[in-house]
Structure 1
Amino acid sequence: MVYTRQNQSSLTAAQKKRFVSALLAVKRKGQYDEFVRMHVAFYVGDGDGGQRVAHMAPTFLPWHRQFLLEFEGALQRVDPGVSVPYWDWTVDRSPTSSLWGEGFLGGNGRRSDRRVMTGPFAYGNGHWPIKEGVTEGEFLTRDFGRPHDPIELPTKDELAWAMRDSLYDSAPWNSTSSHGFRNKVEGWTSGVGNGKFRNHNQVHRWVGGHMLGAGSVNDPVFWFNHAFVDLLWSRWHRKYANSAPYLPAGGTTGAGRVVTLDEPMPPWKVKPSSMIEHGHLYRYA
């Protein structure tokens, strides 16, 4: 049965409660930390050895689509009526947006140590200890806008810059690719400082705290960001229906460091070619 992913801003109080309850149940079972470990394990950068699939590679979009589906499946085994909401960060740009409400994701971290003090994922409530990728203790941290090094959320114009590129990706298939929707929506550029980051990456930087780096899954807002990126890929694919939906289609791609269209993406046996269409599984409201 096809289900719907909604804009988080349109959720009712009851829907938010169901989502949070399912999320906390997945955490209690120990499954949530498995998703954190997986993301850490497959966060391989340009300068690292081995194959790149989760980031800085063409598979950024199909890999995270499958990752979202795996997580959504865990939620739906708890509550079949739950799906992952998306966060349109070009619209909901304020620390006071409903996304950060006491009954949903909670708010910013406190100034002294960035510890989140409100909402169901605050450490003081006892339901969300950070166990994987720990750098600052067991509590969830956020640092909205990084006041010591200010950064804003992406604008509609910055997103449009990515959406205008009709090419999916280009050599050298990493964070330095100057052409292609994938790298522009992932958000790597040749800029310096915070100017280097756009779109998806810029969101991670703006939230700060645990959203920085491979352990970003520790913050539940990770899924909201990636659901919106997944929606953007869906819109891009419809807009450029005559373009190649995924590149590289085949051939040699740097000693096997990049997955081509019909090669399996670890840790699954899923190929990028099987992830291009999602209408048989879910849709976006």
Structure 2
Amino acid sequence: MKQIYRILILLCFAHSLSAQSIRKNYQEMTNYEKTALVNAFYELRNGPDLFNDLAVFHSQYFNFDNTIDPTRLDLHFNLPDEAEREIFLAWHRRQMFEMEQAVQNINPKISLAFWNTTNDQALNSALWDENFMGSFNTNWDLRRRLGHDGPLPTPSEVSVLYGISNFFQFSNEFERRNVHRGAHVWTGGAMPTPLSPRDPIFYFHHVYADFIWYNWEEIHHNSAYITTSMLRYDGTYVFNGQTLPLVNPNDITDTRSLGVFYGSDGLAKLNNYIVSNTYRPEEIFYYQYRIEVGNNFIIPEGANCRIESVNEIKLLPGFVADSGSKFVASIDVATTQQRPQNKVRAKNPYNYDENINTAIIWEEDNKDDTPIIIDSYPNPFSDKITIKLNKNTNCTVAVYNMMGGVIREEAFHNTNTIIINKLYGLSPGFYVISVVDADGKILLAKRVIKM
């Protein structure tokens, strides 16, 4: 018999707006979640059109020839030559968050989901059902061509990505190759063009891309950027009368910084997170299957959080709900099989934009990407960092703080061993080390910790 776990501690509500999300494979969504998400997508096209705004922005800043104007920033294909401009994974993570927040403004119980393109490749997949993603093709005039220009990626191609230990090499391979490219070209229509965010499936695909980055970071723990702000999320862009915040990509390399967790294979683990109610007056974490909450999941005084599952919730050691917080854990029986009524799904084709006819050129980098870094250690460090190379080289090494300021810069000539000494004076915390060869190519960019 299903049980309802409910803990109510002093009813004290936060008055600020809070990120919350358990993202999952769309195949693990309830009928309620699927219909509610589709309804929200349709509603977002009415009034201020976030789909169109994100698509136009993505198109306008997609990719420039930076040899013509090196000051003009863009979103794609900046590696391996321009690591100081690279924001591909972090920008799309923040884009997914912006869309998810808009969806949750309509229905706080739902979240974005992902399409696992390595094992869900059928033309008659439930993904394309007319009650799910299928209706958008006709109603929004997306002109998909499912399967005509594949292929979709294989599980082994994802495994290859997980085996790359250098973050920038991982990001470069991810962006250019089939794990990212495959869904764009296989879907067709808007997807293989700079206007790809017109298609709701773009968000299912890029949530999966974000899930892959999340898994990679759990393995390697060294995602780090040189730039400290991003296009659109630079503190100047206004949408629907609100200025979007300044976002440092280094601040969102952990999805928990955005209140985002991933559930997969019937399990969602919520840990190392402090409920803040930054974006919403109640943080709701919803998952159809087992939710485990513990290991420093903290609900402080004045915070408000709800954990809801259709099947099971387990509170583990390390879970803390402080006095003066509000916490509810419950089994959802009301919406288990419920499918809310479909809202009117009127035709709403996009206005013509010439970029809908511009196919993305999936640039090959045409560089020798043979890894030159053998190892860098120790991490954490106390007074020095040693970097071993597999051949003698001329290079410049820089140490940056997390604000992007240069702490130390030193040139090395014809050596395969780099030692950065006298770092004992640095304050404890996070730093980024960068190794650049004589041609200006980034060989290493790695986050390190000063003890």
By the TM > 0.5 criterion, same fold? yes
Question: Contact 1:86 / 1:227 at 8 angstroms: preserved in 2?
Answer: yes
**How much does 1:92 deviate?**
0.7
**Mapping of 1:70-89 within 5 angstroms?**
70-89=98-117
Mark the CA change 1:219 to 1:206 in structure 2 (over 3 Å): closer, same or farther. same
Q: Which has the larger share of strand?
A: 2
> Tell me, what secondary structure is at the counterpart of 1:210?
coil
Q: Which of 122, 128, 132 in structure 2 is aligned with 1:100?
A: 128
1:56 counterpart = 2:95: no
Q: Which residue of 1 aligns with 2:253?
A: 276
Q: Which residue of 1 aligns with 2:58?
A: 39
Question: Contact 1:53 / 1:63 at 8 angstroms: preserved in 2?
Answer: no
Question: Contact 1:103 / 1:120 at 8 angstroms: preserved in 2?
Answer: no
**How much does 1:121 deviate?**
4.5
**How much does 1:74 deviate?**
1.1
**Mapping of 1:103-142 within 5 angstroms?**
103-106=131-134, 119-123=135-139, 128=140, 139-142=141-144
- Structure 1: distance between partners of 2:212 and 2:252: 14
Question: Contact 2:64 / 2:72 at 8 angstroms: preserved in 1?
Answer: no
Mark the CA change 1:155 to 1:27 in structure 2 (over 3 Å): closer, same or farther. same
Q: One-letter code of the match for 1:185?
A: F
- Structure 1: distance between partners of 2:26 and 2:74: 28
Q: Which residue of 1 aligns with 2:96?
A: 68
Q: Which residue of 2 aligns with 1:17?
A: 35
Q: Which residue of 2 aligns with 1:246?
A: 224
Question: Contact 2:137 / 2:143 at 8 angstroms: preserved in 1?
Answer: no
- Greater RCO (CA < 8 Å, at least 6 residues apart): 1
> Tell me, what secondary structure is at the counterpart of 2:114?
coil
Q: Which has the larger share of helix?
A: 1
Question: Contact 2:75 / 2:88 at 8 angstroms: preserved in 1?
Answer: yes
The count of aligned residue pairs is: 222
Q: Which residue of 1 aligns with 2:398?
A: none
- Structure 2: distance between partners of 1:161 and 1:85: 24
> Tell me, what secondary structure is at the counterpart of 1:5?
strand
CA shift digits 1:7-42 (9 cap, x unpaired): 111112221100000111111122321111121122
Question: What is the TM-score when the length of structure 1 is the normalising length?
Answer: 0.73
Q: One-letter code of the match for 1:88?
A: N
- Structure 1: distance between partners of 2:161 and 2:74: 20
Question: Contact 1:105 / 1:120 at 8 angstroms: preserved in 2?
Answer: yes
Greater mean alpha carbon deviation, residues 219-228 or residues 47-56: 47-56
RMSD over aligned CA atoms reads: 1.7
Question: What is the TM-score when the length of structure 2 is the normalising length?
Answer: 0.47
> Tell me, what secondary structure is at the counterpart of 2:209?
helix
- Structure 2: distance between partners of 1:279 and 1:53: 26
- Structure 2: distance between partners of 1:28 and 1:121: 17
**How much does 1:266 deviate?**
1.6
Q: Which of 153, 162, 173 in structure 2 is aligned with 1:184?
A: 173
Stretches of structure 1 lacking an aligned partner (at least 5 in a row): 107-118, 129-138, 170-179, 189-196, 250-259
CA shift digits 1:198-236 (9 cap, x unpaired): 111121011111101110011110000100011111110
Stretches of structure 2 lacking an aligned partner (at least 5 in a row): 1-17, 79-85, 234-245, 264-451
Mark the CA change 1:33 to 1:121 in structure 2 (over 3 Å): closer, same or farther. same
Query: Whose Rg is larger?
Result: 2
- Structure 1: distance between partners of 2:126 and 2:74: 33
**Mapping of 1:147-158 within 5 angstroms?**
150-158=149-157
**How much does 1:53 deviate?**
4.2
Q: Which of 219, 232, 243 in structure 2 is aligned with 1:267?
A: 232
Structure 1 moving runs of 4+ over 3 Å = 45-53
